[in-house]
């Protein structure tokens, strides 16, 4: 794949779009450098950051919608990469703003104290963090929340790293094999039952597709024990949950918003990004999917109010087993109907 890309990179618009994301990363860095030395006002810096972040959202979507040669898979990878970069640069801007505000307050106090010894060598303070090395370390780090000093191990465990790389390669190939040999035929065979509204066969295809649930425990907590939908959303994706709390939920509370308004705002943002990552690659927007996402708000209240303990856990699992596969099948069905004739599967 690498050799094919190098021979004719313009026939691979997805990877080209991902490589072009460096332009927006460098732009965010240059804005912060000029804000740090006072070459830009905070208002101008905010305007430039908003323009840069808005372009990060719109640019890959425009490519996915306008460039005919890009595939849904290529679009998905490009949009996912840009969504991650958007969240990271949003956090990068916020944290550096907080550092400038703290530095402005500290000017009234003597800053002659210095940290001595090993701590001074290991700790980075603002604006010394504004380097390309620091920013790109954050871009590749498995977190969405920026810190000036990330917790780091004293050395690279080469054997441990080699085992994890081999595991990643093995399970990636295993996942591709399962998708090709099991999920794709199941989805293809579900087109005719959906077209004919054969409910018994739709349910059979649905349950076959609903069994693949796998994740990396390093980045989530025990969501499988969730006794409420709220607990599930808070623990199934820790990096995204931390970003939402730090850069969305708490800032809304500080601005005077009520808790229910802040939670609704988080769900709206989540619904937007879910639709962004699905509807744009397939070049179709489905109102039912956005509505289903927003239905999580009353669903969370109902499960938390009327179901407790094992009953609540069963209700959460029921939504996972039925909800996600239904969305997958309906999206694929609509995509095939719009782009191809529905396959005559058995």
DSSP letters, 155-185, are: S--HHHHHHHHHHHHHHHHHHHHHIIIIIHH
Query: What's the rounded Cα separation, in Å, for the pair 145 and 151?
Result: 13
Furthest CA-CA distance within the chain? 78
3-state DSSP assignment of residue 12:
coil
Query: What's the rounded Cα separation, in Å, for the pair 307 and 299?
Result: 11
Task: Check if the beta carbon of residue 232 is closer than 8 Å to that of residue 316.
Answer: yes
Pick from 39, 18, 43, 25: nearest CA to 97: 43
Query: What's the rounded Cα separation, in Å, for the pair 233 and 262?
Result: 15
Query: What's the rounded Cα separation, in Å, for the pair 43 and 104?
Result: 16
- The helix-helix angle for 13-36 and 42-66 (nearest 10°) equals 180
First to last CA, the chain: 34
Which of 49, 241, 247, 274 is flagged as catalytic? 274
Residue 332, preceding peptide bond in cis (omega within 30° of 0): no
49 as an active site residue: the answer is no
Query: What's the rounded Cα separation, in Å, for the pair 104 and 114?
Result: 18
Pick from 188, 186, 229: nearest CA to 210: 186
Residue 289 to residues 203, 320, 322, 324, Cα–Cα distance (Å):
19, 15, 14, 10
**Catalytic residue ranges:** 274
């Amino acid at each position: 794949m690498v050799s094919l890309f190098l021979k004719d990179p313009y026939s691979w618009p997805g990877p080209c779009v991902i490589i072009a994301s460096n332009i927006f990363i460098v732009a965010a860095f240059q804005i912060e450098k000029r804000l740090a030395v006072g070459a830009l006002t905070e208002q101008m810096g905010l305007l430039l950051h908003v323009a840069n972040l808005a372009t990060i959202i719109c640019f890959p979507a425009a490519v996915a919608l306008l460039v005919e040669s890009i595939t849904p898979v290529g679009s998905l990878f490009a949009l996912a990469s840009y969504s991650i970069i958007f969240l990271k640069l949003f956090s990068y801007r916020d944290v550096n703003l907080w550092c400038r505000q703290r530095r402005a307050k500290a000017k009234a106090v003597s800053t002659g104290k210095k940290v001595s010894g090993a701590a001074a060598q290991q700790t980075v303070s603002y604006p010394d963090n504004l380097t390309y090395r620091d920013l790109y370390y954050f871009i590749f780090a498995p977190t969405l929340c920026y810190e000036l000093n990330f917790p780091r191990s004293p050395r690279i465990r080469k054997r441990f790293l080699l085992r994890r790389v081999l595991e990643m390669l093995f399970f990636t190939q295993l996942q591709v094999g399962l998708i090709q040999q099991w999920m794709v035929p199941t989805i293809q065979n579900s087109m005719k039952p959906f077209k004919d509204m054969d409910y018994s066969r739709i349910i059979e295809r649905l349950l076959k597709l609903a069994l693949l649930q796998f994740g990396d425990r390093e980045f989530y907590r025990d969501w499988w024990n969730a006794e409420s939908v709220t607990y599930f959303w808070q623990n199934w994706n820790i990096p995204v949950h931390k970003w939402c709390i730090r850069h969305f939920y708490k800032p809304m509370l500080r601005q005077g918003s009520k808790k229910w308004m802040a939670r609704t705002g988080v769900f709206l943002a989540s619904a937007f990004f879910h639709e962004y990552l699905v509807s744009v690659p397939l070049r179709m927007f489905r109102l039912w999917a956005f509505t289903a996402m927003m239905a999580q708000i009353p669903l969370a209240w109902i499960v938390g109010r009327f179901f407790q303990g094992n009953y609540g856990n069963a209700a959460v699992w029921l939504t996972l087993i039925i909800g996600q596969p239904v969305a997958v099948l309906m999206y694929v069905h609509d995509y095939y109907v719009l782009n191809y004739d529905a396959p005559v599967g058995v």
